[in-house]
Amino acid sequence: MFRFILVVITLFLYLILGIPVLGICYGAQFMAYSNGGKVEPAGTREYGRAHLSTFEHENPLLKGIREQSQVWMSHGDTITAIPENFKIIASTDKVAIAAYQVKGEKVWGVQFHPEVFHSEDGTRLLKNFVVDICGGKQDWSASSFVDTTVAALKEQVGNDRVILGLSGGVDSSVAAVLLHRAIGKNLTCIFVDHGLLRKNEFKNVMHDYECLGLNVIGVDASDKFFKDLEGVTDPEQKRKIIGRDFVEVFNAEAHKITDAKWLAQGTIYPDRIESLNITGKTIKSHHNVGGLPEEMHLSLCEPLQWLFKDEVRRVGRELGIPEHLITRHPFPGPGLAVRILGDITREKVRILQDADDIFIQGLRDWMVKDATGNDIALYHQVWQAGAILLPVQSVGVMGDERTYERAVALRAVTSTDAMTADWAHLPYEFMAKVSNDIINKVKGVNRVCYDISSKPPATIEWE
Q: Taking CB under 6 A as the rule, does residue 305 contact ligand XMP?
A: no
Radius of gyration of the chain (CA): 24
Contacting ligand XMP within 211-240 (CB under 6 A): 239
* Cβ at position 332, least distance to ligand XMP in Å: 3
Identity of the residue numbered 317: R
Nearer to ligand XMP, 274 or 343 (CB): 274
Which of 111, 288, 353, 446 touches ligand XMP (CB under 6 A)?
A: 288
* Cβ at position 333, least distance to ligand XMP in Å: 3
Listed in sequence order, the residues at least 6 apart from 8 whose beta carbon sits closer than 8 Å to its beta carbon are: none
Phi, psi of 185 (to 5 degrees): -70, -5
Nearer to ligand XMP, 153 or 337 (CB): 337
Kindly report the number of other CB atoms within 10 A of residue 380's CB atom.
14
* Cβ at position 139, least distance to ligand XMP in Å: 29
Q: Taking CB under 6 A as the rule, does residue 332 contact ligand XMP?
A: yes
* Cβ at position 336, least distance to ligand XMP in Å: 11
The stretch among 26-34, 227-235, 325-333, 400-408 that binds ligand XMP (CB under 6 A) is 325-333
The stretch among 68-76, 113-121, 280-288, 292-300 that binds ligand XMP (CB under 6 A) is 280-288
Instruction: State how far the Cα of 360 lies from the Cα of 363, in Å rounded to an integer.
Output: 5
Nearer to ligand XMP, 37 or 165 (CB): 165
Whether 445 and 359 have beta carbons less than 8 Å apart is answered as: no
C-alpha to C-alpha distances, 393 to 107, 329, 357, 404, nearest whole angstrom: 55, 29, 21, 6
* Cβ at position 271, least distance to ligand XMP in Å: 6
Helix, coil or strand: residue 299: strand
Nearest alpha-carbon partner for 106 in 23, 227, 9: 23
Phi, psi of 79 (to 5 degrees): -80, 120
Nearest alpha-carbon partner for 79 in 55, 46, 117: 46
Q: Which residues participate in catalysis according to the annotation?
A: 25, 113, 115
Which of 195, 303, 334, 362 touches ligand XMP (CB under 6 A)?
A: 334
Contacting ligand XMP within 374-433 (CB under 6 A): 384, 418
Q: Taking CB under 6 A as the rule, does residue 330 contact ligand XMP?
A: yes
Which of 118, 287, 313, 314 touches ligand XMP (CB under 6 A)?
A: 287
Q: Taking CB under 6 A as the rule, does residue 198 contact ligand XMP?
A: no
The stretch among 2-10, 185-193, 358-366, 452-460 that binds ligand XMP (CB under 6 A) is 452-460
H or E stretch at 41: strand 38-55
Whether 227 and 200 have beta carbons less than 8 Å apart is answered as: no
Instruction: State how far the Cα of 459 lies from the Cα of 381, in Å rounded to an integer.
Output: 19
State how beta strands 375-377 and 367-369 pair. antiparallel
Which of 53, 80, 403, 459 touches ligand XMP (CB under 6 A)?
A: 459
Q: How far is CA 446 from the centre of its chain?
A: 31
Listed in sequence order, the residues at least 6 apart from 368 whose beta carbon sits closer than 8 Å to its beta carbon are: 375, 376, 377, 378, 381, 427
Q: Taking CB under 6 A as the rule, does residue 286 contact ligand XMP?
A: yes
Helix, coil or strand: residue 80: strand
Interaction mask 238-277, ligand XMP, x per CB under 6 A: -x----------------------------------x---
Number of residues in contact with ligand XMP under rule CB under 6 A: 16
* Cβ at position 313, least distance to ligand XMP in Å: 13
Instruction: State how far the Cα of 289 lies from the Cα of 282, in Å rounded to an integer.
Output: 12
CA atoms within 13 A on the CB side of 401: 5
* Cβ at position 167, least distance to ligand XMP in Å: 7
Alpha helices in 212-289, H assignment, sequence order: 222-229, 235-255, 269-274
Instruction: State how far the Cα of 289 lies from the Cα of 274, in Å rounded to an integer.
Output: 10
Q: Taking CB under 6 A as the rule, does residue 360 contact ligand XMP?
A: no
The stretch among 84-92, 180-188, 198-206, 332-340 that binds ligand XMP (CB under 6 A) is 332-340
Q: Taking CB under 6 A as the rule, does residue 461 contact ligand XMP?
A: yes
The stretch among 90-98, 137-145, 203-211, 331-339 that binds ligand XMP (CB under 6 A) is 331-339
- Tell me which residues touch ligand XMP (CB under 6 A): 239, 274, 284, 286-288, 330, 332-334, 384, 418, 455, 459-461
